[in-house]
Amino acid sequence: MWNQKKPPQVDISKEQSLFLDRIEKRKHRILWIQIALLVSFFVLWEVAAICRWIDPFIFSQPTRMFQSAIAMIQDGTLFYHVFTTLWETVVGFLLGTLLGTLIAVLLWWNPFVCDVLEPYLVVLNALPKTALAPIIIVWIGNNQKSIIAVALFTSVIVTIMNVLTGFLQIDQEKIKLIQVFGGSKMQTLKKVVFPANIPCILNALKINVGLSFVGVIVGEFLVAQAGLGFLIVYGSQVFKLDWVMLSVIVLAILAACMYQSIALFEKFLLRKRHL
C-alpha cells in the first residue's frame, strides 16, 4: 500500500559513457585554455616591456613586480597591507550583512514602516555609496573605523533590499501553516521565514564581499594610511607602478579567494540544511 522510491540505476551503457567522456573532455579543454590565456597575458606583458613596446616605468612588468613582491614579503610590508585590507573587508561585509538582515527583519515585521521607508531605500540603493565616503571620514575621523563604515555602508542597503525581497516572497501558504497551529509572528519568523531565506542571506554575503572591497579600497584611498588601497594611491603618486600593479593583482587574488571561500561555505551550509 505504501509506495517506496526506486533505487537509482547503476549500470552505464556505452553511449552514456561516451557522453560523459565528451563532457569531461570539454571541461578539460576549457581549463587549459583558461590557464594558457593567463600565462600568455603575462608573457606578452613581459616581452612587450623588454622590447620597449611599452614603457615599463609606467606599465611595470611581471619580473619587476615579482622582485618588488619578494622585497615586500621579506620586509613584511606586503602582508601588513594585505591583512589590513582583508580585516577591514571581512569586518565590513559581515557587519553589513548582519545589520542589513536585521533591518530587513524589522521591516518585514512592520509592513507600515516598510512602506514608509521604501522610497528612501530605493534612492539609497541607487546612490553610489562611495560618494558618501568623504563625509563618513569627516564624521568618524581619518582612521580605520571610517574605512569599515564605508565598507559597511556599501553593502548594507543591498542586503536590506535582497533579504527583504526574499522574506516577502515566502509562500503565503507556508505562513498559513504556522498560523493554523496558532503560531505567533515570532514563530513564523523563526520556523519558516528566516530558515527559508538562509540561501538568500548567503547570496547577499557573496554579493557583499565584492561591494565591501569597493568600500574598503575607496576608504583606503582617502584615509591613506595602510592597506592595498593606500599602496595603490601612494604607488601611483611616487611613480612606483610596480607596487600599484602588484597591489591590483594581489587584490584580484584576494577577492577571488574570499568569494570562493564564501561560495564553499554556502555549499556546505546548504547541503547541511538540505536546501
Partner 1 sequence: MRTIVSLEDVSLHYHSKNGETPAVSHLNLEVFQGEFLSIVGPSGCGKSSLLSMLSGLLKPSSGTISIDGEIGYMLQKDHLLEWRTVKENALLGLEIKGMLTPENTSYVEHLLEQYGLGAFMEQYPSQLSGGMRQRVALIRTLAIHPDILLLDEPFSALDYQTRLTVSDEIGSIIRKEKKTAILVSHDISEAISLSDRVVVFSARPATIKNIHTIELSIGEHSPMQTREAPEFREYFNRIWKELDIHVESEKTTTS
Interacting residues toward partner 1 by CB under 8 A = 1-5, 171, 173-174, 176-183, 187, 191-192, 195-196, 198, 273-275
102 or 198: CB nearest partner 1: 198
Instruction: Supply the minimum distance, in Å, between the C-beta of residue 104 and partner 1.
Output: 19
Instruction: Supply the minimum distance, in Å, between the C-beta of residue 194 and partner 1.
Output: 11
Dump the DSSP string for the chain: ----PPPPP----HHHHHHHHHHHHHHHHHHHHHHHHHHHHHHHHHHHHHTTSS-HHHH--HHHHHHHHHHHHHTTHHHHHHHHHHHHHHHHHHHHHHHHHHHHHHHHH-HHHHHHHHHHHHHHHHS-GGGGHHHHHHHH-SSHHHHHHHHHHHHHHHHHHHHHHHHHTS-HHHHHHHHHTT--HHHHIIIIIHHHTHHHHHHHHHHHHHHHHHHHHHHHHHH-SSSHHHHHHHHHHTT-HHHHHHHHHHHHHHHHHHHHHHHHHHHHHHHHTT-
26 or 273: CB nearest partner 1: 273
Instruction: Supply the minimum distance, in Å, between the C-beta of residue 188 and partner 1.
Output: 9
Instruction: Supply the minimum distance, in Å, between the C-beta of residue 155 and partner 1.
Output: 26
Rounded distance between C-alpha atoms, residue 247 and residue 250, angstroms: 5
Q: Assess contact for 77 and 83: CB atoms under 8 A.
A: no
Instruction: Supply the minimum distance, in Å, between the C-beta of residue 204 and partner 1.
Output: 18
139 or 265: CB nearest partner 1: 265
Instruction: Supply the minimum distance, in Å, between the C-beta of residue 178 and partner 1.
Output: 6
Instruction: Supply the minimum distance, in Å, between the C-beta of residue 177 and partner 1.
Output: 5
Separation in Å, CA 20 to CA 4, 27, 30, 31, 32: 29, 11, 16, 17, 19
175 or 263: CB nearest partner 1: 175
1 or 51: CB nearest partner 1: 1
Instruction: Supply the minimum distance, in Å, between the C-beta of residue 196 and partner 1.
Output: 8
75 or 173: CB nearest partner 1: 173
138 or 270: CB nearest partner 1: 270
Contacts of 84 (CB under 8 A, 6+ apart): 144, 220, 226, 227, 228
